[in-house]
Amino acid sequence: MRLTYPLAAAAAVALVVPAAAPADHQSTPCAKHPAKATKAQAKAGRVTRAACIRQWKRNHMAWPPKPAEWEIKRRVGTYNWNKAARVANCETGGTRGAHPTRGNLGWYPNGKYQGPLGMWRGTAAYGKARSYANPTTWQEWVAVAVSAHPITGGWGGWGCRGA
């Protein structure tokens, strides 16, 4: 019975005190990249330490400025990315200037419904306040839609939610 208390105390300490992470993994994520790339490395697409650090910082932003498609797709997930394409095609796909799978980017920019996903202006305002204030690209509109999910219950706020 005397051994129970010290073992329980040791187990409690192990649960409370986190184990030390490898120093090279978290403290310096880009340490393995060269400070400067040689001509051969640059031609081969080798990333320098400074470029790695810039991308690392960008990856840790909630919504980076002027995002690439892969950056938003990674943040919202494949399900939401593909669902957004189906909803956009259902909501605005039949309008003039619509992309075959991404709706119409210029659909009623100041009307009751906005953007390629046909978002009600209140929903769009909520999403814009949390992600991109003036979305101009497909990936920014997807971020706005996903940012509005707390008030729409996911995709339940769209007429084409079953798409």
- pLDDT tens string 112-122: 888 888 899 99
Is 144 within the bounds of a domain?
Answer: yes
Q: Provide the 3-class DSSP secondary structure of residue 113.
A: strand
Do 83 and 150 lie in one domain? The reply is: yes
Do 52 and 76 lie in one domain? The reply is: no
Q: What's the mean pLDDT in 151-155?
A: 93
Q: What is the pLDDT of residue 50?
A: 86
Domain that holds residue 49: 22-57
Do 141 and 105 lie in one domain? The reply is: yes
pTM of this prediction exceeds 0.75: no
Predicted confidence (pLDDT) per residue in 92-106, tens digit: 877 777 777 788 877
Residue 127, token pair as written in the block: 């999403």
DSSP H or E segment with residue 119: strand 119-120
Instruction: Tell me the C-alpha distance between 27 and 50, whole Å.
Output: 15
* Residue 132 near residue 63, CB atoms below 8 Å: yes
Do 36 and 99 lie in one domain? The reply is: no
* pLDDT band, residue 44 (cuts 50/70/90): confident
How many domains are there within the chain?
A: 2
Is 10 within the bounds of a domain?
Answer: no
* pLDDT band, residue 71 (cuts 50/70/90): very high
* pLDDT band, residue 128 (cuts 50/70/90): very high
Do 105 and 38 lie in one domain? The reply is: no
